[in-house]
Amino acid sequence: MIEKYKKEAANDVVFNLEYNSERQRLLIPEYGRHLQKLIDQATVIEDVETRNKAAKYIIQVMGSLNPHLRDVPDFQHKLWDQLFIMSDFKLDVTSPYPIPSRDVLQLKPDVLHYPQNFPKYRFYGNNIKYMIDVANKWEDGEMKNALVLVIANHMKKSYLSWNKDTVKDDVIFEHLYELSGGKINLLQSSEELLNTTDLLRTNKRMSNKIAPAGQPKIQSNKNNKGQGKPKTFQKNNNQK
């Protein structure tokens, strides 16, 4: 006989409340605590066949959260791995995939070494230094002179993007001499770099439909067909 429901005292219910801070930590919180309890129950099942059936049922429940990926082989492999992880590797069932180990899970990736460059003139960037190093390897000639001139103009443009004021060519030539290790010397050269206005010039495209600010709009009189002058738009101050 099933015992009837016994009414519990309110004080006992409040005293026996479970708080998340007192509960066991979820290894994969995305699946929720109910699925974690199912896995814990399947772990303590003694019968091997019943335990395997429970594991397959749990895999189906986990796959129902992503039904569009439920039948993908790689996704099935992921679900089985997560099942063993959530059981803290205590679940002893037959898996269609290799069972992961705790040691493999705790492996840390190798440290990724980022290039640590601390240039003196950071506003030029690393690409300028790379271009200067390439220019140093070239043989003297017209090609190298053209490349050096391009580098100097680009250095001036980068300098102006950091400092909107004008800059003299001598300053750029000094920085180029310093960054090249003294191999590129334009201090005594008569070369002139591009003007500041040319380097900072932006292409402003204006639509033909939009008249410039401050210019009155012109209304053409189609009925007169060339007779008389076109009327200019005048604002009516009487309108409210």
d(CA 129, CA 176): 9
User: 193 in a domain, yes or no?
Assistant: yes
Q: Looking at the structure, do residues 90 and 61 belong to the same domain, yes or no? A: yes
Q: What value does the mean pLDDT of the chain take?
A: 78
d(CA 225, CA 235): 25
Domain that holds residue 160: 122-201
Q: Looking at the structure, do residues 80 and 139 belong to the same domain, yes or no? A: no
User: 117 in a domain, yes or no?
Assistant: no
User: 171 in a domain, yes or no?
Assistant: yes
More confident residue, 35 or 122: 35
For residues 143-167, b (16+ Cβ closer than 10 Å) or e, as one string?
Answer: ebeebbbebbbbbbbbbbeeeeeeb
User: 14 in a domain, yes or no?
Assistant: no
- Kindly report the number of other CB atoms within 10 A of residue 99's CB atom: 14
Q: Looking at the structure, do residues 95 and 165 belong to the same domain, yes or no? A: no
Count of domains forming the chain = 2
Phi, psi for 237 (deg, rounded to 5)? -70, -15
The tokens of 105 are what?
């899970």
Q: Looking at the structure, do residues 34 and 84 belong to the same domain, yes or no? A: yes
Stretch 60-79: mean pLDDT = 82
Q: Looking at the structure, do residues 47 and 91 belong to the same domain, yes or no? A: yes
Among 54-63, 76-85, 176-185, 187-196, the range scoring the smallest mean pLDDT is 187-196
204: pLDDT confidence band, cut at 50, 70 and 90? very low
CB 142 within 8 A of CB 177: no
User: 66 in a domain, yes or no?
Assistant: yes
Interval 80-89: pLDDT, tens: 999 999 998 9
Burial of 169 (0-12, 13-18, 19+ CB in 10 A): middle
Location of structure tokens 């016994």: 6
CB 52 within 8 A of CB 58: no
pLDDT for the residue 190: 80
Q: Looking at the structure, do residues 99 and 128 belong to the same domain, yes or no? A: no
Q: Which of 72, 106, 140 is the last residue of a domain?
A: 106
The tokens of 24 are what?
């066991």
Looking at the chain, the whole-number percentage of residues with pLDDT higher than 70 is 74
More confident residue, 43 or 124: 43
Interval 84-140: pLDDT, tens: 999 989 999 998 888 888 888 888 888 888 766 667 788 888 888 888 889 988 888
Q: Looking at the structure, do residues 93 and 148 belong to the same domain, yes or no? A: no
User: 93 in a domain, yes or no?
Assistant: yes
User: 35 in a domain, yes or no?
Assistant: yes
Local structure of residue 228 (DSSP, 8 states): S
